Amino acid sequence: MSTPDRYAVLGYPIAHSRSPVIHALFAEQTRQSIVYEAVETPPEKLESTIATFRRGGGKGLNITVPHKSEVVRLVDELTEHAATAGAVNTLWIDDGRLFGTNTDGVGLVRDLTANKGWSLHGRSLLILGAGGATRGIVRPLLEQGAGKIVIANRTLDKAIALAAHFGAFGDVASERFDDLANLGPFDLVINATSAGLDGKRPEFPERIVGAETRCYDLAYGASSQPFLEWARGAGAQHVASGWGMLVEQAAEAFEIWRGVRPNTADLLSRFAG
């Protein structure tokens, strides 16, 4: 029997990642022979870990917090979407060259629209946070017909810079958290801050959320709970964690790597986010 092809996810921290479980189930379902590991990678080891993985014959990597922006400079070739986003979550090696793309946005859009039936067309969106996670999702949301996107961030300058950058693709504005009280309620509020990773919940004005507002946290599991609890407390009746996005972005990466599309419905129904 031949040796299984090797894949891994690099992040810091990484212990709680469910990506290895997801890819193992996809491999079983599609009869692909792979191993997929989670490798704890502090920022100063990112470059050397990728180099060692390539030398060892590894086939592909997922990149997660906090490396999605930093990894851009280590890639030989970016897809157009990853170049616009300035953030990468999926790498593969082809003919000795390292390719990078970003499947987060496609994964989010598929979870919102196909899995949850939340239409984006003409909707008003608020994205909280202006880091690598936000960079990956703005353009795909605009391409789905989102009417207007407001990006709000603790550090206003970063929100201003992203609004200017993505303004080329649609109606994108920036706000301070405090000034959000004069806006809303929005149709969809997405938490893309990493605050929940430390169990923290920034204080947002409750006015951004109404009963019909859909609230979505890009994180899953315990990290998504502070924001989703806040959203429920503010009156939102439809809230969801990023579990479905994680599964869908993984399916997209798996298809790039293996050339077969796994069935996500099975996995989405077997585990709760």
Active site residue ranges: 68
Q: Considering the complex, state which of residue 219 and residue 239 has its C-beta at the smaller distance from ligand ATR.
A: 219
Q: Is 238 in the site for ligand ATR (CB under 6 A)?
A: no
- CA dist 193 and 154 (Å) reads 9
Binds ligand ATR by CB under 6 A, chosen from 11, 100, 132, 185: 132
Is 195 buried (19+), middle (13-18) or exposed (0-12) by CB count in 10 A? Answer: middle
Pick 68 or 123: Cβ nearer ligand ATR: 68
The smaller minimum CB distance to ligand ATR, of residues 34 and 231, is found at 231
Q: Judging by beta carbons within 10 Å of its beta carbon (0-12, 13-18, 19+), is residue 135 exposed, middle or buried? A: buried
Closest CB to ligand ATR belongs to which residue?
131
Q: Residue 271 CB, nearest distance to ligand ATR (Å)? A: 22
Length of the chain: 273
Instruction: Report yes or no: 99 and 79 within 8 Å, Cβ to Cβ.
Output: yes
Give the residue carrying structure tokens 């990728």. Answer: 50
Residue 162 touching ligand ATR (CB under 6 A): no
Among residues 110, 113, 105, 254, the alpha carbon closest in space to that of 192 is found at: 105
Q: Does 11 bind ligand ATR (CB under 6 A)?
A: no
Look-up of token digits 């479980």: 21
- Report the number of secondary-structure helices (H) and strands (E) in the chain: 9, 12
Query: Which residues are bridge partners to 61 per DSSP?
Result: 8, 91
In whole angstroms, the minimum distance from the beta carbon of 128 to ligand ATR comes to 7
Candidate list 49, 79, 194, 225; residue touching ligand ATR; CB under 6 A: 194
Q: Does residue 130 bind ligand ATR (CB under 6 A)?
A: yes
Which one, of 238, 134, 255, lies nearest residue 187 by Cα? Answer: 238
| Binding segment (CB under 6 A) for ligand ATR, from list 140-148, 195-203, 227-235, 255-263 | 195-203
How many residues sit in the footprint of ligand ATR (CB under 6 A)? 18
- Asked if 154 touches ligand ATR (CB under 6 A), the answer is yes
Should residue 79 be labelled a site residue for ligand ATR when binding is judged by CB under 6 A? no
Residues in the site for ligand ATR, rule: CB under 6 A?
65-66, 68, 129-133, 153-155, 158, 192-195, 200, 202
